[in-house]
Structure 1
């Protein structure tokens, strides 16, 4: 990859072409901050609307730290690191519902949105457009075709026909976004992904005797923040489109009123007998989810053994080397888990074409989502599991709302895996297959207190 290109959102963006450092970008941020700085979280006037089937919650825009992506570089990061614009995009999305006309008009003018078409577009289409404006400058005055955007984490039944077609056509293996070659536009990347799918290259990465579950179209990848409530705020499941680089966990904890909790994990957890579960001490990046299905009566232990030495894991290690600017010294050890029944996942599994899993007694996940969110897409549901149960090991401390209901059921069922320290690695066991989680951590040693980073 050329030295003047930096990877962001799974794409390569030239700093000279980027919207990040422009006057217009800063102007947009200043406008949002000025307008919503003193918004009362409990003021019903600012409670977000509920477009179609996605549930929104009251949200305080000012709690986002806009310097996540604008102009700051935390110590230990390369000065050339381009950070995700996701917070601003979320604000723009929210303003679509709650801002007054003048504010909305000014923001759309900054982004170059065609005024006549602006009011005709649905919220998720506008969000996609805002995303494309931020991540793929310069853009023509014409609105980017929605069907050229990868869509995940959004209810297919709630989409118009264009978005439905996009969902069906581009439900591709997004982990290709983390590999060479890099592209300048989303369009080029999607074309590349589609060609890779047809070439069958990804299949060759699997260990012998295994295959991707065909019902999920090779594989699903998604990115995460701390809790699924975050996804409620993104009508497109924007986490899929952006490679989130979280720099202020305390800000999110404040927004969602999540406490700092200290809890002791059972002794057989290993070397790390105590775990501080707190959003004030941690920052996340992304989570990748792969669905595997054993072939030829391959047992789970055999598949586990094959997986640890497979080309796929070697491939992930290589991706880690390319995607990180710093080598961490912290060892990553992740145990495996057997998940308990959770009937609320069944509708989501069925919607993703995985009804056969729903029929298996042992495959339902433990305490996934609130009952009101039965229809979460499968990727969204598994995000919650990864946060609530899975990726908790060593120095990686997690944000959990109800730890007392989770920790007693925390029982490793396999020996721990090791992977490059830039990644977390966990496999969930089902009687029909395995689910492999790959979580990427920015800085596992970072500490936050009251929103301030301790350097």
Structure 2
């Protein structure tokens, strides 16, 4: 009878300990001495993040408990994944959906396992600069036979061992578990199981322990500057607490969406950082938690700039223990706690014995944050007491924080501080009165996925456009997918029916006009407001109309408010004057780098509408090339039988680089000084123009973000030719190949613009780019005319053969420019015979 009771009970414990700063000298070796000249250069994690569940969980905890709290999303996810590996049916589906994992099945499980193995592997290496212990064990009754396949999977992918023990001897088992936890947390948690009777009827205890101890990247806070001050928990409640203070350069941002300030304080080791999110108002924390999600946060982290900041931060230390069943149930994980849970993949059950189910889910965490590292840090102290910070970050009221592994984008810990003087955060007990809803959770998986993928899918068009342009032209090319997309997106506002549907489908835009305008505004405003002074990126749109074209007031307002565009009347009947007017506008917005887009012979006197989109970019390399190293290369291999001289720039430095087998190409990233934009150069492994065509086609199946996630810092000898390309073409042929045909047809539906019958005659696109030792200058213009219906040991990256390049936004993978260099010295490219014949026919 007793064995039947035993097999039904699983306990899950998550043990966390984090010491932000510790002062004992003997805790750290002398290797912690640090050179102050090694500045903190920060680029946010660029790969796919895995944090939707983290913030859902945070919101649920914040609604469940009002005081200080601390938890580790990573530890919780690892424990849930161990359950997932042994689960089936609805039990499995609930965990998959709550964690926002790939759909179940072999491919989904394989992806999940690799994701976690990568994260765990990243946290395993030891370092002299910080201490991080991550360990997971399953203690299982000696009466239970663990399935061999389960034991193998959790060992290989999750570094989790299984220990057989006798739960009948609860005192010995509790002592065994507590000693393992104490050793892993270096004595910070000694009695995780303080009541041995709590495990007496269990058959399995899953334990995950995460311990972190870190030193600040620099000695930011001097103990002599620590003062007693008021921490305002509410308008009517305040506490005397110790405040640390400093003035120095920190990465900092202010978020309009969150109505909050964000501060990043890095730890020594270039891996972990603490982020503090401070509401602007005393009572703003609840609203901040309501509005925060990983996408808003990621966007704002990318906008952080290194600025002088006056920082005032309370010292705080507290522990927090929580029973997580009510919160997990609210997030949709229910079956694991019920008698009909399907966890048959963990252990072999006996006939007529109850099924395994989880009876409790406990997480215990502790954190301490104070001023110093060790005395070995004394050599790096900075006297900045007389400096004045441009920004203020005074955490004198409730705030949030999280600690992230910036090499993988993994959140280790997150929490809320409402009272720094509170030493013991309350324990959340098991609650049988489980609430049915939390009002402030992130929307369901479907909504989040749709919103997240909208921008990502919007980028698919970039690669497809470049691929077709690559096929349609010979020689060097450069186009601006961003510029072309801007013009085509505006057309979605002017069209209806099948005409609009083709545009939406090809551009991967949502059906709802407001969502399209939101995407457009987000992109436009991000580039107009958030590029640093070292770079220039200007986008301008204008609709040129004849006096006979009567724009609807609604369309005109949409153009102004959502696309930063305007309308201007011109006399299309005066072809010479109109061409001059439009080309002057083009020259102004491309800083004279493009002299014309419209020639007198390219527009008709009958034209009633002309839409132009201009983009100008100038960037300075973060790592400039030394002009004295530039030299003439005798043979740039245009083809296997054709060599041309080229002027090659050269630099030896650390760049993000990878050899990507899926593309059969080497990729290197050349960052610009603004920290957001960079150039990717993709060099086929083998010579020959046919390999450029193949690479172009393969790029359509790989997102820019996935390529970026493969790149790693590597010291390389980089050799790249100086080149200048100007590309002019009518993109009608290319767009029709992509499925945009109706806008050129006599049946085109343009009733959204002026009520008249019209079609697009041509899509003129002109791009120009110049690459030299200092950086990049690039410009592009797209015009659409609408006419009335009357008719060594060191890795070497030597770009000495044709290659593909793209200027990208590292934040969202958007392509600003994309191009191909076949011959650095060649004149502008010519259309292929097929496109030339096509243009002749039209």
Tell me which of the two structures has the higher relative contact order, counting C-alpha pairs closer than 8 angstroms and 6 or more residues apart. 1
Structure with the higher fraction of residues in strand conformation? 2
TM-score by length of 2: 0.18
Higher Cα Rg, which structure: 2
TM-score by length of 1: 0.28
